[in-house]
Structure 1
């Protein structure tokens, strides 16, 4: 694996010094907790838009989807900025300030009446006054800033934390705790923050998010003197683009076998790179590293980077191409999960949500089942299952094997979802509520939704942490930050693709009417189960053909402080 080159400061060109190690762990993890909880304003956003801004259900849902899409897709831009221009540390600092500014604006919209339309007693009524253009402008500006800051910081901090360790084993442990901390923080957001917003006030709820943002930034800055910083390597995408252009420009040249006919870089760089000819995978790209007369200066440097690239640049692009099939399977994996999350709230609203005689579980808080399941699974796997597997099998569970387990539990979750929904529809039919309004509640406890949410939580504990670790290990060194953001992009893409799947189902079938009691949502879940099974088969093929880049020169970080 690429991470095998982390054996020492000298072995990693971008590493400035030997600071880092486990002493940085509390600072990084506390920062993850603070910045994740600061995004708690997203959890109950639909309710806020409906109650405070008199938005219709569809409009509020669209805004909510845009916000979630932005938070999950924009991290790739933050990663590019970190890799090419500012570095992880600066991006985290600036993005935290941006998100804080957006949250403060949200606090103002909740506290100042002039920034909201008049309160409407009959929600959804045509008599409710819509926000003015100025009020919309302030609202959308606050959401844009808060979304942008959250997107840039959430996944950029993952490679920042991983850079503190040289050992792939310790980096895997960090990624497990990074995921665990995010889920615990999300649990707090989905419970405590939502409770304050709905029972104390939106001003206080948003203020809690602002406080969490400030605390996360302060803790992060407090650990500055302990961090290991990695120098910026310039734009990695320019390097990849140069390979493509150089290969096309030399496409008619004959490729030799001898290593000396290819450019390996200056003498200093050649020491760090084994002087071998480029691999035969995507052989066409080897033209980019083929040396011709006049393309290098007397000291060995390149005269035109768009005409000649190093063998390492060529192999970096090949590494990305090899990973793409695995990434595409991860994208498809998230589609059933996104569809499940889209309908779980509608199901919960038709079921008995009472917990005792005085408390009802909000439909938006049902995701807590998934978050708790994921958090517990991460602790059990990290402390018990993975060490036990390593002792019995004499080797650790690979990242792709962990992703594969996540695939299986996702399929199981969709099967449970289909069975539970079939039972819910039968009860709705027996209670004769199929042709009634969506406000009708059937005598079936909302806790029936728990097993499917727990199963998908277990799945996420395996495939999410596994994908983050896999991409970080296998991406080229110049793309380490972007590697973790690739997971976020797949999740964001899945949200958009899930909408496309739902649109197709609506046009082709009658499974999704306005009232889910009149439809066949169970068939949608069985469709997701089938999609998951087919994707799992595709993943197995991709994983079996993929070859890890090899791990060597592993360093123990346990004694570094």
Structure 2
């Protein structure tokens, strides 16, 4: 953050450096206000839509609570998977600017459709009517109403997902020869992301809950539209992009070429393998590890450089092996994210049935409960950066590795599941034995622990992927984390379905379920995964 104080002086310096022969400014800090404003606008819109989606589905579309969390899982899974695809498309064909612009337009359309469902009564079912016996009579939405809702949600999820990392890549591309300025930009990028997310989870959700759902969603749509306009206004300052092709496509050729030549006998001669520089030196002959894939670089009859899906370079083969080598650790990250996704969804359902009153004049919105994670992560990231890491280096003489950081994150998330189970057990006991509703403040510790864990494992995961993945994947390595998160949300949906069909822990009304047992299951799941992670980390061979 200290470097960010030099922002104004950097603008002046970069403005002088980036004048081309025609006098037009391209790249550098003059592009910063446009890109960071775009990030802020899109983040406000996406967080404003996703933060309260579960509550909106339950209250306005009469969808059962657990079903609403399942829909939310699919939405989050799509939002996290799309950046991975968007990164490949941007690198291969259109560039970051075009993908970010198209994604922003798609998300705007989706947000407008969702806002219309909240504004026009005929686009949503009638509200539940309380029956004389105390039960609620809820009319289901029509096929047309569900269709419009899901189209809006799908467009928003794809659009917001496609715009998650492309502005960050575009911003970093404005400083092609300055790692220092790239670091400053990313610092501001993540600060903007967290601050605006906190704003959305508090102000926008409050407006949706207390004033109007329609007004809240239209604010999101307006924020998205302003972001598109600002993004376009800054176009004349952005450096031109030339897509270089996706390294993922190059890596995908390796298993295909290996399978096509699976009958070929491997050779020990360097002259029988192909590299981008011609004959392969002894030092770059394919390694014995994962020997099957060495066939991709083996020169056989009918091979030529014009057939990249049959003949790959040794460098591509070795890069593919590096990706294969980190897969066990990446799977442990998937299993780490599943309990977090489950806890976040269930915390929202718990908040809906708990006493949200804080003081005489304020009721904490259930949809805002995840803001505790953002706040605790932001605070603890600062503590780590300014206090704990310098102290650790002073005591040990070295900085903690990315795997050590991820391991500590595993431990904190395990504690979060245990605390969640205890608190939910206490909540159910108070409700059934004393007929009292527990305060929503009791949810803060478990969410704070998740936030602290994220401060450890999320930066550690990004750093690990950036350092250990091949250099050819450095530009899209962060998208790997997004891919992992997307897979986790989809698997969380499957886990929830399994729990519902096998137990009575997750009924529609969680007051008559056993969510505490779900948390104990997640704690056991996390403990087994932590042991698995330790085994993978112990035997992992660093690049």
TM bucket, shorter chain: 0.7 to 0.9
Find the counterpart in structure 2 of residue 489 from structure 1: 483
Match of 1:80 among 81, 88, 103: 88
Matching residue of 1:425: 428
Structure 1: gaps (5+ residues): 1-16, 297-301, 434-440, 550-561
Whether the 8 Å contact between 1:173 and 1:382 is mirrored in structure 2 is no
Cα drift, residue 91 of structure 1: 0.8
Match of 2:228 in 1: 217
Give the counterpart of 1:107 among 115, 125, 130. 115
Where does residue 362 of structure 2 map in the other structure?
359
C-alpha distance in 2, partners of 1:229/1:412?
A: 48
Aligned ranges 1:139-538 → 2 under 5 Å: 139-163=149-173, 164=175, 178-221=189-232, 224=235, 231-266=242-277, 276-292=284-300, 295-296=303-304, 302-390=305-393, 392-431=395-434, 433=435, 441-442=436-437, 444-480=438-474, 482-513=476-507, 515-538=509-532
Superposed counterparts of 1:125-144, under 5 Å: 130-144=140-154
What do the CA deviations read for 1:296-328 (whole angstroms, capped 9, x no partner)? 4xxxxx142233211111122112211211110
Give the distance between the partners of 2:189 and 2:452, measured in 1 at CA: 16
* Matched position secondary structure for 1:86: helix
For the residue of structure 1 that corresponds to 2:286, the secondary structure is coil
Alignment CA distance shift 1:356-1:174 (3 Å)? same
Cα shift at 1:92: 0.8
Deviation at 1:521, TM superposition (A): 2.9
Per-residue CA deviations over 1:142-161 (Å, capped at 9, x if unaligned) read 22221110111113334444
With over 3 angstroms needed to count, the CA separation of the structure-2 counterparts of 1:507 and 1:51, relative to structure 1, is: closer
Map Cα deviations across residues 108-142 of structure 1 (whole Å, 9 max, x no partner): 33334444455665599886555444444433322
1:480 offset after TM fit, Å?
Answer: 4.2
The alpha carbon displacement at 1:54 in A equals 4.7
Q: For the structure 1 residues 355 and 240, does the alpha-carbon distance in structure 2 shift closer, same or farther, using more than 3 Å as the test? A: same
Q: Distance in 1 between matches of 2:216 and 2:38?
A: 20
Q: Is the 8 A contact 2:65 2:349 kept in 1?
A: no
Contact 1:83-1:479 at 8 Å conserved across structures = no
Aligned length: 516
Distance 1:361 1:400 in 2: 37
Aligned to 1:10: none
- Give secondary structure in 2 for the equivalent of 1:308: coil
Match of 2:51 among 40, 43, 48: 43
Higher mean C-alpha displacement, 33-42 vs 55-64: 55-64
Show CA shifts across 1:42-73 (max 9, x none): 22223333444454545544443332232223
- Could you tell me whether the CA contact under 8 Å between 2:206 and 2:365 is conserved in 1? no
| 1:407 Cα deviation from its structure 2 partner | 1.0
C-alpha distance in 1 between matches for 2:321 and 2:522 = 32
Give the distance between the partners of 1:315 and 1:188, measured in 2 at CA: 45
C-alpha change, 1:506 and 1:307, in structure 2 (3 Å) is closer
Q: Residues 281, 225 of structure 1: CA spacing in aligned structure 2 closer, same or farther, 3 A cutoff? A: farther
- Counterpart-to-counterpart distance in 2, 1:56 and 1:250: 52
When residues 498 and 137 of structure 1 are mapped into structure 2, their CA distance, relative to the original with a 3 A threshold, is closer
**How far is 1:409 from its partner?**
1.0
SS at match of 1:386: helix
Q: Say if 1:233 and 1:392 are closer, same or farther in 2 by CA, change over 3 A.
A: farther
| Whole-Å separation in 1 of the counterparts to 2:519 and 2:139 | 38
The match for 2:14 is none
With normalisation by structure 2, the TM-score equals 0.83
Aligned residue runs from structure 1 range 87-98, under 5 A: 87-98=95-106
The structure whose residues are more often helix, as a share, is: 2
* CA pair 289-170 structure 1, distance change in 2 beyond 3 A: farther
Q: Could you say if the C-alpha distance between residues 224 and 312 of structure 1 is closer, same or farther in structure 2, counting changes exceeding 3 Å?
A: farther
Q: Which has the higher contact order (CA 8 A, sep 6+)?
A: 1
Any idea what the Cα deviations from partners look like across 1:483-529, whole Å, max 9, x if unmatched?
Answer: 32322232232223233334444455454455544544333222222
Report the more deviating stretch, 525-534 or 60-69. Answer: 60-69
Question: 225-234 vs 463-472, which deviates more?
Answer: 225-234
Does the CA contact (< 8 Å) of 1:83 and 1:478 recur in 2? no
1:32 Cα offset (Å): 2.7
Distance 1:445 1:55 in 2: 25
Aligned-pair CA distance for 1:106:
2.7
Q: 2:397 and 2:81 mapped to 1: Cα distance?
A: 38
Q: RMSD of the TM alignment (CA)?
A: 3.5
Q: Work out the CA distance in 1 between the residues paired with 2:188 and 2:458.
A: 12
Separation in structure 2 between the aligned mates of residue 505 and residue 370 of structure 1, nearest angstrom: 25
Structure 2 residue ranges without an equivalent (≥5) = 1-19, 21-25
Aligned residue in 2 for 1:34: 41
- Report if aligned partners of 1:41, 1:206 keep a CA contact under 8 Å in 2: yes
Distance 1:76 1:543 in 2: 25
Q: Distance in 1 between matches of 2:366 and 2:240?
A: 43
Q: Residue 16 of structure 2 aligns with which residue?
A: none
What TM-score do you get using the length of structure 1 for normalisation? 0.81
Equivalents in 1 of 2:487, 2:516: separation in Å? 24
